[in-house]
Structure 1
């Protein structure tokens, strides 16, 4: 078996060791590196045959599986932007993203309701050569993320114009510094939808490191433990909700599975309660690696297990290539231990929101980006999060934006006003609650309002609780006071 540890990424590894196990799909089907590269090359040729050139956009409405992996790696060597789309979104929500990103081609699973006029990976690959395309250049993933308006925007980074292998040594070094991930014979378990930035990125990282990728059909705690044991999984990515569910398993179930192969369990996406993180490390050992950032900033802060145990609750120190400042409302730097707005500066390259220079500018203070969170640095430079400046709700590691839900509810004729808030939830981190001020006349039932939301919003955005209020609190200028709404609800 050839030594792949010095090879720069997936494409070169697949050429050198085609029999290496690359992907174990949700149904157990195994694809080797050589087979995957052949399909990737065919799809790259197919995209070019349909007129796509460097800098163009391809969107994918694909469930977790081999096709999603193929699209990531095919666009990654064809100089294209790839937009992974949440397949749980409604048809109008998907249509908005398609129009905003100017997708030249939309690749979809044949069973998806919007797939009628779209193409699958088989259609792109048909009749195409399995050899590498000429003039290969690095592509980039353009994930869509919502702002406080609730309308998603593409986070776009400039393309290098160089072949993919040119930047991969830096990626490999960065992953080693942050997560202790190294090239070699690792096994990565995909536990979350790959339309989210972190699970998607870690799938690519795993292949560029020469690891095998095991795709879980869905997150089920017992099934996840079984996959870890069966495939001797060495690294995975989870969100705190998953830890909570795993810890709720009876002791005899937990003890029935061998998880000793785990070396790196990376988590991000939401604050992890200290007790939950300790509980997982008591069970799995000191293998939890945490990082904090965003789709825009990527991995800005990181913390390894032993550093976290010495500073419980931290999300880490600035990652290599990043600087951090904590500023007050006047833009002045605050001393250690004092909360303020978090600002990040990266030497690894910036981003823009596609088609929205005003939004890009509003998120920056010069070269410094504000993720929208409030936190403080301790005397050793470790960051602790306090709260979000925006009204973002994070439930199960997924971002949910109140303004989008409020706009949909206000379309109902019986709703005069509404405030959507996130309230603490032991399992999910936060739950979505809608407080509705009804219009004069018959009051709608919560069930009626949820039915109204059905065709407008994906189900994961639906409020878990809908309550009615005769009046909602407002500021002296008449603006809805969401903070007062939240305070009144929690105190009640």
Structure 2
């Protein structure tokens, strides 16, 4: 913890207590409410630093006042290029409490990417820790260099280093806090105020606009699941990066909503995170498949892994597909069932969860032609399934509606694939800056995902529309090909993408990662596919690779693979 932040935390309570918060309108109200309900309960663990909810609330007030002291007014954008840390938490909630718009950035982004993102949102301030400060400084230097031609002076952000020395012209986080006014400016309470801008594909696409209403609605939907997903007694592992909506809202936001305890992981290593789980008696682990796979690789002895996860009551996977083999392996090793969900940044993010599944044989609830709606009552009709026959991502959260439609927008029958549409108060307000592609007049959002609802009302994902491979006019779903190849002994991972083909328009290209110590040849993969797949679905090219490129959440970066396949096919 930086020195000034420590001073703020240890400062005596003010005589004037803030008004009671019963209904949150601003996401930062959740911190206030937690401080009023459980002031001495542990809120955040970050290395050796520990804050109670009262201490965190006081610190958030100080940060909000610091933003006001720096001349920032409601609606200004504050970028956070930081790893998971106490400073991220306080800067995020402090920005929201001051009425500012938080713009979390992946700290692993390049200077060029950061410059493009800062310019796109016209951030006034950018906080950067040791993982990002060099790239941030290079990006801002470049903006200054071209600012007279492209941007006005207000669009060149001030760099605020966190935990690193300042350069001339910069203000450190300590200095920002030292300049804080006595009290933060409190903007009018309006749930439709923009809270967060989130980039989903780096600088390649405009950021998602999420209001306080959308973020709080998704937390309310998660809180309506029974039995509860998270309680005040839970200790939650914060391994997901908070620059991603999964870590930012479904984890950080949800912990604040229930006044639980968050244990932050700054840099993930399998051994280090397992030590935290055991040492802090973690009960909930929301994560991505790479975390669970890392644990299984790091601890070969099943009994030892089970011992180190003995305090855990709930494992949840999201942000990337969970291979059934990984889910089975973890259950066999530890007895823990990994629950799974589906979501998207535009939905704040959670849409479905296996925690909402009604169980085998339960008739799917329908609401006429308007879609399927999850309810808290429905979620408790049957025990939670522990051995699903097929790989679903669960039923809609309470208050979320789903429809599956064909190319004409007509709702399809149960079991028939089509595009997944979502409706609910958790949806975004469009893409920055003008709200483009916001939900339509009736509130439905087309997700771009292909899936179907099974007879129990659970969603089964098939693929992404944009990842569809069209071979001689026939649709090939990459996931079907990937699952077929994954059956082959010695295959650890596989990714399938489209490549240009002069005869068929597109063809299937497969990237295959062998398991450790295994030997897999392209010819073996081809022979296997001849048995498992129709001719037009078989890969024209099989490339054996040591690893697959991944995003910050561990999802396979298929855009990189598609680009490589396209360049290879056309010869450059």
Distance (whole Å) between structure 1 residues aligned to residue 561 and residue 443 of structure 2: 37
Distance (whole Å) between structure 1 residues aligned to residue 435 and residue 32 of structure 2: 35
Matched-pair contact (CA < 8 Å) for 1:42–1:124: no
- Is 1:225 matched with 2:278? no
Aligned to 1:146: 201
Matched-pair contact (CA < 8 Å) for 2:97–2:186: no
- Is 1:119 matched with 2:195? no
Q: Which residue among 388, 391, 409 is the counterpart of 2:467?
A: 391
Cα deviation for residue 36 of structure 1 reads 2.1
RMSD: 4.0
CA 1:345 to 1:135, structure 2 compared with 1: closer, same or farther past 3 Å?
closer
SS at match of 2:160: coil
Matched-pair contact (CA < 8 Å) for 1:190–1:215: yes
Pairs within 5 Å for 1:444-459: none
SS at match of 1:118: strand
Pairs within 5 Å for 1:310-321: 310-321=388-399
Distance (whole Å) between structure 2 residues aligned to residue 82 and residue 469 of structure 1: 37
SS at match of 1:76: helix
Aligned to 1:241: 290
SS at match of 1:314: coil
Pairs within 5 Å for 1:71-220: 71-109=91-129, 112-116=133-137, 117-120=158-161, 121-128=173-180, 133-135=185-187, 137=189, 140-146=195-201, 151-159=204-212, 171-172=219-220, 174-177=222-225, 180-201=228-249, 202-220=251-269
Q: Which residue among 307, 314, 317 is the counterpart of 1:264?
A: 314
Distance (whole Å) between structure 1 residues aligned to residue 514 and residue 220 of structure 2: 36
Distance (whole Å) between structure 1 residues aligned to residue 134 and residue 510 of structure 2: 31
Cα deviation for residue 79 of structure 1 reads 2.1
- Is 1:325 matched with 2:377? no
What's the CA shift string for 1:451-481, capped at 9, x where partnerless?
A: xxxxxxxx988769968988549xxxxxxxx
CA 1:172 to 1:425, structure 2 compared with 1: closer, same or farther past 3 Å?
farther
Aligned to 2:343: 293
Range that drifts further, 199-208 or 303-312: 303-312
Higher relative contact order (CA 8 A, sep 6+): 1
CA 1:425 to 1:197, structure 2 compared with 1: closer, same or farther past 3 Å?
farther
Which residues of structure 1 form unaligned runs of 5+? 395-399, 404-418, 428-458, 474-492
Matched-pair contact (CA < 8 Å) for 1:55–1:159: no
Cα deviation for residue 357 of structure 1 reads 4.9
Distance (whole Å) between structure 2 residues aligned to residue 375 and residue 339 of structure 1: 5
Distance (whole Å) between structure 1 residues aligned to residue 195 and residue 175 of structure 2: 22
Cα deviation for residue 127 of structure 1 reads 3.7
Distance (whole Å) between structure 2 residues aligned to residue 15 and residue 53 of structure 1: 27
What's the CA shift string for 1:332-362, capped at 9, x where partnerless?
A: 222111211111122445421002555x16x
Cα deviation for residue 228 of structure 1 reads 1.1
* Larger-gyration structure (1/2): 2
Matched-pair contact (CA < 8 Å) for 1:79–1:159: no
CA 1:75 to 1:63, structure 2 compared with 1: closer, same or farther past 3 Å?
same
Matched-pair contact (CA < 8 Å) for 1:54–1:79: yes
Distance (whole Å) between structure 2 residues aligned to residue 21 and residue 470 of structure 1: 54
Pairs within 5 Å for 1:276-425: 276-297=326-347, 298-304=349-355, 306-307=384-385, 309-355=387-433, 357-358=435-436, 360=437, 367-391=443-467, 423=511
Pairs within 5 Å for 1:3-18: 9-15=30-36, 17-18=38-39
Distance (whole Å) between structure 2 residues aligned to residue 245 and residue 129 of structure 1: 46
SS at match of 1:353: coil
Aligned to 1:486: none
Cα deviation for residue 93 of structure 1 reads 0.5
Matched-pair contact (CA < 8 Å) for 1:301–1:317: yes
Distance (whole Å) between structure 2 residues aligned to residue 421 and residue 46 of structure 1: 53
Pairs within 5 Å for 1:31-50: 31-50=51-70
What's the CA shift string for 1:78-99, capped at 9, x where partnerless?
A: 2221110011111110111111
Matched-pair contact (CA < 8 Å) for 2:315–2:336: no
What's the CA shift string for 1:58-86, capped at 9, x where partnerless?
A: 11111211111112211232222111001
What's the CA shift string for 1:105-155, capped at 9, x where partnerless?
A: 2222266114545014323211425766544746622211139xx713211
Distance (whole Å) between structure 2 residues aligned to residue 316 and residue 223 of structure 1: 31
Distance (whole Å) between structure 1 residues aligned to residue 285 and residue 253 of structure 2: 13
Aligned positions, number: 411
TM-score (norm 1): 0.72
Distance (whole Å) between structure 2 residues aligned to residue 301 and residue 272 of structure 1: 14
Aligned to 1:275: 325
Aligned to 1:431: none
CA 1:107 to 1:178, structure 2 compared with 1: closer, same or farther past 3 Å?
farther
Cα deviation for residue 44 of structure 1 reads 0.4
CA 1:131 to 1:264, structure 2 compared with 1: closer, same or farther past 3 Å?
farther
Distance (whole Å) between structure 2 residues aligned to residue 470 and residue 321 of structure 1: 46
Matched-pair contact (CA < 8 Å) for 1:391–1:421: no
Which residues of structure 2 form unaligned runs of 5+? 1-19, 25-29, 138-157, 162-172, 358-383, 469-477, 480-494, 499-506, 516-555
Matched-pair contact (CA < 8 Å) for 1:341–1:374: yes
